[in-house]
Structure 1
């Protein structure tokens, strides 16, 4: 079954493709969509295979390379030669893989709280989340999710919104097998030794209070990639694209203006 995607904005404009993190949903990018459209970009957002509107059985063993191939298929189906790919966490890994596997399809990358190789802290977090899923099921798993996504103060101040997100995640949980396959794919990802071969402009964006992914993983990306803009914020958590969207959106638009240089892709 093909991956479900949405295309927003004018034909012929530079295309920004938005790739979400572990949740996989296009809706994650709602805080960015108005700003990108107001700036004149054509925007593609998609539900990753096995999530949301893109159900289906995942190949085994499932890899980030499979996810990058899905992006190629989305680009082909939407008549898009190349894109500026914006990826959050797992979505950033997809962008890195795509830039390695099909460099002609990527004009620039934006990597948000992403990484190039495994690290022991994130491994501990995923071990705990998987143990919770195994012992207590999907409801407990999704109830814990905001702890890893958002700062505590933001969760407390936005309690109703956070609970609504948790309830939605539970109602649309993709199943334990799919979740385990997706987590295994991101945990196996390691392109650290290949960063120097990625030739497109990259914006690395990190929140220094990210609970799930140490901001030093973003520092490693910034150090290893040849053409990098590194944007750090002190606060905002793993999903600072949501908790501080005005700051992130301003950084994103400034980078895209430089990286796009008016090209129509």
Structure 2
């Protein structure tokens, strides 16, 4: 089964392909703030993870299996080589792909990701699991913004958050799927192999990320040979949503600086 995916941006065989992969929620719509800017330079592919949103079936229970799904999406759009941008769990998928023999990945953008989950992140996930199991889906979804966004941003975007929460409740991916995906990201450990990532890599993080300590991104940037770090003081876990102008700017600078795209 090919997962639900969409292709936007440049056409033609000369257009580089960029695949975007979201985090635990699995939704391609997570990247909406970035599509316009990226589509000027890339054939942009977004997809819904297996078992989430418009992709059917039961979700995968390992990061490697989720990475296999990306390869299937790439084959469906005719991409034998591609650039990859992943947020949190999506970043782990990117690392898995980049570490494979004869990897098809040409560059990586890792957003608030990690080589191995921090114990603090584990406490956060334990709290979310308890909410899901003891209080139900609505409580789980209503708590989600606390782990994604800074307090001020949430205070200033109350109406948007309520719409997001309503959508999350209506399209909840299912208890078993959430639990298996959390287990997969907690089990992932590539720290000892990060030195083998052999492509240009941009590591993006926000210092006020509540879910993933930004020190995990510092460790990625130090261990990956061709990595550069972009660190924001503000923005939270979903920094590409809360600080889109800053985020798009550092991504553009990375792709331009590495020669992947031409300067504007």
Residue equivalent to 2:27: 25
SS in structure 1 of the partner of residue 103 of structure 2: helix
Let me know the Cα RMSD of the aligned residues.
1.2
Partner SS for 1:17:
strand
Q: Tell me, what secondary structure is at the counterpart of 1:104?
A: coil
1:161-180 matches, cutoff 5 A: 161-180=160-179
Corresponding residue for residue 182 of structure 1: 181
1:40 aligns with: 41
Residue 82 of structure 1 and its aligned partner are, at CA, apart by 1.2
CA distance in 1, matches of 2:173, 2:66: 16
Residues in 1 aligned to 2:150 and 2:260: alpha-carbon distance in whole angstroms:
35
Gaps of 5+ in 1: none
Pairwise CA distance, 1:86: 0.5
Distance change (3 Å), C-alpha of 1:139 and 1:195? same
Higher relative contact order (CA 8 A, sep 6+): 1
Q: CA deviation at 1:261?
A: 3.4
Q: How far apart in 2 are the matches of 1:26 and 1:102?
A: 27
State the distance in 2 between where 1:226 and 1:202 align.
9
Answer whether contact 2:202 2:229 (CA < 8 A) is retained: yes
- Structure 2 gap ranges (5+): none
Tell me how far 1:262 sits from its aligned partner: 4.8
- In structure 1, what is the equivalent of residue 118 of structure 2? 119
C-alpha distance in 2 between matches for 1:204 and 1:189: 18
> Quick check: 1:110 aligned with 2:109?
yes
Equivalent residue, structure 2, for 1:10 = 10
Cα pair distance change 1:260/1:107, threshold 3 Å: farther
Equivalent residue of 1:87, what SS?
A: strand
Paired position in structure 2 for 1:77 = 76
In the alignment, the residues of structure 2 paired with residue 58 and residue 73 of structure 1 have an alpha-carbon distance, to the nearest angstrom, of 15
**Any idea what SS the aligned residue of 2:193 has?**
helix
Corresponding residue SS for 1:209: coil
Number of residues of Structure 1 aligned to a counterpart in Structure 2: 260
TM-score by length of 1: 0.95
Matches within 5 A, 1:1-265: 1-11=1-11, 12=13, 13-37=15-39, 39-58=40-59, 62-101=61-100, 103-262=102-261
Structure 2 distance, partners of 1:221, 1:257, is 21
The CA distance in 2 between the partners of 1:214 and 1:191, in whole Å, is 17
Q: TM-score, normalised by structure 2?
A: 0.96
